[in-house]
Protein backbone atom coordinates (compact mmCIF):
# COMPACT_ATOMS: atom_id res chain seq x y z
CA UNK A 1 0.00 0.00 0.00
CA UNK A 2 1.19 3.48 -0.82
CA UNK A 3 -0.72 6.40 0.66
CA UNK A 4 -1.02 9.91 -0.63
CA UNK A 5 -1.47 12.55 2.07
CA UNK A 6 -3.64 15.57 1.48
CA UNK A 7 -2.44 18.22 3.91
CA UNK A 8 -2.07 18.42 7.65
CA UNK A 9 -5.22 16.64 8.75
CA UNK A 10 -4.18 13.46 6.98
CA UNK A 11 -0.78 13.63 8.63
CA UNK A 12 -2.26 13.98 12.09
CA UNK A 13 -4.63 11.07 11.50
CA UNK A 14 -1.72 8.74 10.77
CA UNK A 15 0.20 9.41 13.97
CA UNK A 16 0.80 6.50 16.27
CA UNK A 17 2.18 3.94 13.83
CA UNK A 18 5.33 2.22 15.02
CA UNK A 19 8.41 3.57 13.25
CA UNK A 20 12.00 2.37 13.16
CA UNK A 21 15.21 4.12 12.17
CA UNK A 22 18.90 4.57 13.09
CA UNK A 23 20.31 6.99 15.62
CA UNK A 24 20.70 10.45 14.15
CA UNK A 25 23.13 13.07 15.47
CA UNK A 26 23.23 11.48 18.91
CA UNK A 27 19.64 12.58 19.45
CA UNK A 28 18.39 9.32 20.86
CA UNK A 29 16.09 6.86 19.10
CA UNK A 30 14.84 8.37 15.88
CA UNK A 31 11.91 7.15 13.84
CA UNK A 32 11.59 7.05 10.10
CA UNK A 33 10.02 4.82 7.49
CA UNK A 34 12.45 3.19 5.09
CA UNK A 35 10.03 1.20 2.94
CA UNK A 36 7.67 2.46 0.26
CA UNK A 37 4.60 0.61 1.49
CA UNK A 38 4.03 2.27 4.88
CA UNK A 39 3.17 5.84 5.77
CA UNK A 40 3.25 7.63 9.11
CA UNK A 41 2.92 11.19 10.24
CA UNK A 42 6.67 11.71 10.25
CA UNK A 43 7.76 9.72 7.25
CA UNK A 44 5.93 10.08 3.98
CA UNK A 45 5.90 8.29 0.67
CA UNK A 46 4.36 10.62 -1.88
CA UNK A 47 4.23 10.59 -5.66
CA UNK A 48 4.73 13.42 -8.09
CA UNK A 49 1.76 14.06 -10.33
CA UNK A 50 -1.57 12.24 -10.05
CA UNK A 51 -2.69 10.31 -7.00
CA UNK A 52 -3.63 7.46 -9.36
CA UNK A 53 -1.45 4.50 -8.36
CA UNK A 54 -1.78 2.54 -11.58
CA UNK A 55 1.52 0.72 -12.11
CA UNK A 56 1.46 1.75 -15.77
CA UNK A 57 1.54 5.44 -14.92
CA UNK A 58 4.90 7.08 -15.74
CA UNK A 59 4.71 9.03 -12.45
CA UNK A 60 6.02 5.93 -10.65
CA UNK A 61 9.47 6.92 -11.84
CA UNK A 62 9.11 10.14 -9.84
CA UNK A 63 8.19 8.46 -6.59
CA UNK A 64 9.31 10.61 -3.66
CA UNK A 65 10.43 9.16 -0.35
CA UNK A 66 10.87 11.29 2.75
CA UNK A 67 12.58 10.30 6.00
CA UNK A 68 12.17 12.58 9.02
CA UNK A 69 12.64 11.37 12.62
CA UNK A 70 9.63 11.64 14.89
CA UNK A 71 11.90 12.69 17.75
CA UNK A 72 14.96 14.95 17.96
CA UNK A 73 16.13 14.98 21.55
CA UNK A 74 18.76 17.69 21.09
CA UNK A 75 16.79 19.82 18.62
CA UNK A 76 18.80 18.88 15.50
CA UNK A 77 16.82 16.82 13.00
CA UNK A 78 18.16 15.10 9.89
CA UNK A 79 15.92 15.23 6.80
CA UNK A 80 16.39 12.92 3.82
CA UNK A 81 14.42 12.92 0.57
CA UNK A 82 14.79 10.83 -2.59
CA UNK A 83 13.17 11.79 -5.90
CA UNK A 84 15.04 11.15 -9.19
CA UNK A 85 12.84 13.69 -10.97
CA UNK A 86 14.05 16.56 -8.74
CA UNK A 87 17.79 16.19 -9.39
CA UNK A 88 19.51 19.57 -8.99
CA UNK A 89 16.37 21.29 -7.70
CA UNK A 90 16.30 23.36 -4.51
CA UNK A 91 13.81 22.88 -1.71
CA UNK A 92 12.84 25.17 1.17
CA UNK A 93 12.06 23.79 4.61
CA UNK A 94 10.32 26.07 7.10
CA UNK A 95 9.79 25.93 10.83
CA UNK A 96 8.17 28.53 13.08
CA UNK A 97 11.53 30.31 13.36
CA UNK A 98 13.81 29.44 10.45
CA UNK A 99 13.95 28.64 6.77
CA UNK A 100 16.46 26.14 5.38
CA UNK A 101 17.34 25.90 1.68
CA UNK A 102 18.78 22.59 0.47
CA UNK A 103 19.49 21.09 -2.94
CA UNK A 104 18.96 17.66 -4.48
CA UNK A 105 22.12 16.12 -5.90
CA UNK A 106 22.50 14.76 -9.42
CA UNK A 107 20.89 11.47 -8.35
CA UNK A 108 17.86 13.13 -6.79
CA UNK A 109 18.98 12.73 -3.19
CA UNK A 110 18.75 15.46 -0.55
CA UNK A 111 20.08 15.44 3.00
CA UNK A 112 20.07 18.35 5.43
CA UNK A 113 20.06 19.25 9.13
CA UNK A 114 17.37 21.50 10.62
CA UNK A 115 17.61 23.12 14.07
CA UNK A 116 14.32 23.11 16.00
CA UNK A 117 13.37 25.53 18.76
CA UNK A 118 9.89 24.42 19.84
CA UNK A 119 8.30 21.22 21.12
CA UNK A 120 6.70 19.84 19.07
CA UNK A 121 8.27 21.57 16.07
CA UNK A 122 6.52 21.79 12.68
CA UNK A 123 8.52 21.30 9.49
CA UNK A 124 6.91 22.43 6.23
CA UNK A 125 7.96 21.98 2.61
CA UNK A 126 6.52 21.48 -0.86
CA UNK A 127 6.55 17.88 -2.08
CA UNK A 128 7.25 16.73 -5.60
CA UNK A 129 3.53 16.59 -6.39
CA UNK A 130 3.28 20.33 -5.71
CA UNK A 131 1.37 19.97 -2.47
CA UNK A 132 2.39 21.57 0.81
CA UNK A 133 3.44 19.10 3.49
CA UNK A 134 3.86 19.44 7.23
CA UNK A 135 5.12 17.06 9.89
CA UNK A 136 5.77 17.62 13.58
CA UNK A 137 8.85 16.46 15.45
CA UNK A 138 8.94 16.01 19.22
CA UNK A 139 11.87 17.80 20.91
CA UNK A 140 11.51 16.90 24.60
CA UNK A 141 15.11 17.83 25.36
CA UNK A 142 14.28 21.53 25.04
CA UNK A 143 12.74 21.41 28.52
CA UNK A 144 16.14 20.68 30.11
CA UNK A 145 18.46 23.09 28.29
CA UNK A 146 19.25 26.70 27.52
CA UNK A 147 20.05 27.47 23.90
CA UNK A 148 21.70 30.68 22.74
CA UNK A 149 21.47 31.23 19.00
CA UNK A 150 23.27 33.67 16.71
CA UNK A 151 21.54 34.12 13.33
CA UNK A 152 22.82 36.32 10.51
CA UNK A 153 22.52 36.84 6.77
CA UNK A 154 25.32 37.36 4.30
CA UNK A 155 28.90 36.21 4.03
CA UNK A 156 30.37 38.25 6.89
CA UNK A 157 32.52 36.08 9.22
CA UNK A 158 30.53 36.33 12.45
CA UNK A 159 30.75 33.92 15.36
CA UNK A 160 29.25 33.44 18.81
CA UNK A 161 31.33 33.20 21.99
CA UNK A 162 29.97 32.32 25.43
CA UNK A 163 31.56 33.24 28.77
CA UNK A 164 31.20 30.20 31.02
CA UNK A 165 32.92 31.86 33.96
CA UNK A 166 29.53 32.02 35.73
CA UNK A 167 29.07 28.24 35.48
CA UNK A 168 30.04 26.55 38.76
CA UNK A 169 31.42 23.37 37.16
CA UNK A 170 33.32 24.82 34.24
CA UNK A 171 36.83 23.48 33.49
CA UNK A 172 39.45 25.64 35.24
CA UNK A 173 41.29 26.34 31.98
CA UNK A 174 38.28 27.72 30.09
CA UNK A 175 36.21 30.85 30.26
CA UNK A 176 35.19 31.93 26.76
CA UNK A 177 34.22 29.09 24.46
CA UNK A 178 33.29 29.11 20.78
CA UNK A 179 32.54 26.83 17.85
CA UNK A 180 36.22 26.25 17.03
CA UNK A 181 36.47 23.94 20.03
CA UNK A 182 39.85 25.37 21.03
CA UNK A 183 38.57 25.61 24.60
CA UNK A 184 36.38 22.74 25.74
CA UNK A 185 33.60 23.99 27.98
CA UNK A 186 30.46 22.78 29.72
CA UNK A 187 28.10 23.57 26.85
CA UNK A 188 28.42 22.54 23.23
CA UNK A 189 28.37 24.38 19.91
CA UNK A 190 26.91 23.67 16.50
CA UNK A 191 27.41 25.79 13.40
CA UNK A 192 24.86 25.34 10.61
CA UNK A 193 24.70 27.04 7.22
CA UNK A 194 21.00 27.28 6.34
CA UNK A 195 21.44 27.99 2.65
CA UNK A 196 22.86 30.84 0.58
CA UNK A 197 23.71 33.71 2.91
CA UNK A 198 21.98 32.35 6.03
CA UNK A 199 23.96 31.09 9.03
CA UNK A 200 23.43 29.90 12.59
CA UNK A 201 25.78 29.45 15.56
CA UNK A 202 24.10 27.48 18.33
CA UNK A 203 25.21 27.03 21.96
CA UNK A 204 23.44 24.48 24.17
CA UNK A 205 23.94 23.92 27.90
CA UNK A 206 21.97 21.87 30.43
CA UNK A 207 19.91 23.94 32.86
CA UNK A 208 21.43 21.96 35.72
CA UNK A 209 24.86 23.36 34.83
CA UNK A 210 23.70 26.98 35.23
CA UNK A 211 23.55 29.03 38.41
CA UNK A 212 20.00 29.75 39.62
CA UNK A 213 20.30 33.45 38.85
CA UNK A 214 22.57 35.96 37.19
CA UNK A 215 23.47 36.49 33.54
CA UNK A 216 25.34 34.51 30.90
CA UNK A 217 27.61 36.85 28.91
CA UNK A 218 28.14 36.40 25.19
CA UNK A 219 30.13 38.04 22.39
CA UNK A 220 29.23 38.33 18.72
CA UNK A 221 32.61 38.52 16.98
CA UNK A 222 33.15 40.08 13.54
CA UNK A 223 36.63 38.98 12.45
CA UNK A 224 37.43 39.59 8.77
CA UNK A 225 41.09 38.73 9.22
CA UNK A 226 44.03 40.80 7.98
CA UNK A 227 43.92 42.52 4.61
CA UNK A 228 45.10 40.25 1.83
CA UNK A 229 44.32 37.09 3.79
CA UNK A 230 42.44 34.13 2.38
CA UNK A 231 39.23 35.64 3.75
CA UNK A 232 39.58 38.62 1.39
CA UNK A 233 39.05 41.03 4.28
CA UNK A 234 38.72 44.05 2.00
CA UNK A 235 35.15 42.95 1.26
CA UNK A 236 34.20 43.80 4.84
CA UNK A 237 34.98 47.51 4.87
CA UNK A 238 33.77 50.60 3.06
CA UNK A 239 30.39 50.41 1.33
CA UNK A 240 30.29 46.67 0.66
CA UNK A 241 27.15 44.73 1.51
CA UNK A 242 29.13 42.67 4.04
CA UNK A 243 30.73 45.67 5.75
CA UNK A 244 27.83 46.23 8.17
CA UNK A 245 26.33 42.81 8.95
CA UNK A 246 23.12 42.52 10.96
CA UNK A 247 22.40 39.70 13.38
CA UNK A 248 19.89 38.40 15.91
CA UNK A 249 20.40 36.65 19.23
CA UNK A 250 17.73 34.15 20.26
CA UNK A 251 17.33 32.09 23.41
CA UNK A 252 15.33 28.97 24.19
CA UNK A 253 14.88 28.15 27.88
CA UNK A 254 12.61 25.36 29.10
CA UNK A 255 11.14 25.24 25.61
CA UNK A 256 10.28 28.97 25.58
CA UNK A 257 11.60 30.85 22.53
CA UNK A 258 12.66 34.49 22.86
CA UNK A 259 14.31 37.04 20.57
CA UNK A 260 16.90 38.55 22.90
CA UNK A 261 18.41 41.12 20.59
CA UNK A 262 18.54 42.52 17.08
CA UNK A 263 21.86 44.23 16.39
CA UNK A 264 24.60 44.81 13.90
CA UNK A 265 28.01 46.27 13.18
CA UNK A 266 28.65 49.68 11.65
CA UNK A 267 30.67 49.89 8.48
CA UNK A 268 34.24 51.14 8.78
CA UNK A 269 36.46 52.71 6.17
CA UNK A 270 38.99 50.55 4.39
CA UNK A 271 42.39 51.29 5.83
CA UNK A 272 45.90 50.19 5.13
CA UNK A 273 45.62 47.19 7.43
CA UNK A 274 42.09 46.23 6.46
CA UNK A 275 39.09 46.03 8.82
CA UNK A 276 39.86 45.09 12.40
CA UNK A 277 38.29 42.42 14.57
CA UNK A 278 35.29 43.80 16.43
CA UNK A 279 33.08 42.50 19.23
CA UNK A 280 29.46 43.20 20.21
CA UNK A 281 28.71 42.28 23.83
CA UNK A 282 25.53 41.16 25.55
CA UNK A 283 24.16 38.70 28.10
CA UNK A 284 21.26 36.32 28.70
CA UNK A 285 19.22 36.59 31.90
CA UNK A 286 19.37 33.25 33.72
CA UNK A 287 16.49 33.76 36.14
CA UNK A 288 13.29 31.93 35.14
Residue 119 lies in a domain: yes
Confidence of residue 2 (pLDDT cuts 50, 70, 90): very low
* Terminal CA-CA length for the chain: 49
Say how many domains are in the chain: 2
**Has residue 4 got a pLDDT over 50?**
no
**Of 116, 138, 160, which residue constitutes the final position of a domain?**
138
Report whether 126 contacts 132 (CB < 8 A). Answer: yes
Domain end, chosen from 138, 167, 201, is at 138
Residue 250: other Cβ atoms inside 10 A: 20
Over residues 134-163, the mean pLDDT reads: 93
State whether 209 and 254 are in the same domain: yes
Residue 40, beta-bridge partner list? 43
- Pick the more confident residue, 195 or 91: 91
- What is the percentage of the chain residues whose pLDDT exceeds 70? 72
Asked if residue 90 has pLDDT above 60, the reply is yes
In a shared domain, residues 174 and 109: no
- My answer on whether 213 and 98 are in the same domain is no
Neighbouring C-beta atoms of residue 157, cutoff 10 Å:
18
Q: Tell me, yes or no, whether 34 and 128 share the same domain.
A: yes
Which of 17-31, 47-61, 99-113 is modeled with the greatest confidence?
A: 99-113
One domain, residues 101 and 177 = no
Q: Does 174 have pLDDT greater than 80?
A: no
| Judgement on whether residues 91 and 178 belong to the same structural domain of the protein | no
In a domain, 2, yes or no: no
Let me know if residue 3 belongs to a domain.
no
Give residue-wise pLDDT tens across range 196-217. 778 999 999 999 999 988 999 9
Query: pLDDT for 228-262, tens place per residue?
Result: 454 566 678 877 667 889 999 999 999 899 999 99
Q: Tell whether 148 is covered by a domain.
A: yes
Q: Residue 115 has what pLDDT?
A: 94
Sign of CA dihedral 11, 12, 13, 16: positive
Domain match, 200 and 123 both: no
Tell me, yes or no, whether 72 and 187 share the same domain: no
Residue 59: predicted pLDDT: 54
Within a domain: residue 225?
yes
Whether 200 maps to a domain, the answer reads: yes
Q: How far is the C-alpha of 196 from the C-alpha of 191, rounded, in Å?
A: 15
pLDDT at 223: 87
- Boundary of a domain, candidates 106, 138, 170: 138
- In sequence order, which residues have a C-beta less than 8 Å from that of residue 224 and are 6 or more positions away? 156, 157, 231, 233, 235, 236, 237, 274, 275, 277
Whether residue 75 is found in the same domain as residue 28: yes
Q: Which domain holds residue 124?
A: 8-138
Reply yes or no on whether the pLDDT at 95 is more than 90.
yes
Flag whether pLDDT at 120 surpasses 90.
Answer: yes
CATH number at residue 249: 2.60.40
Query: Based on the domain organization, do 100 and 170 belong to the same domain?
Result: no
Amino acid sequence: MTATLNGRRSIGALRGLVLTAPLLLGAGPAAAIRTHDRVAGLSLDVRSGSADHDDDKPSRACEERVEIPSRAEDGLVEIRIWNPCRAGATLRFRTDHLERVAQFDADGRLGTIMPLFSDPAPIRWQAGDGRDREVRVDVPGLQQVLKVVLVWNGEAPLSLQIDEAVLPDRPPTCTWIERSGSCRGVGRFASLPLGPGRNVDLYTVALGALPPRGRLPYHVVFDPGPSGSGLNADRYCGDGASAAPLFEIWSVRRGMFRVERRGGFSAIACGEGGPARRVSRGDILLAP
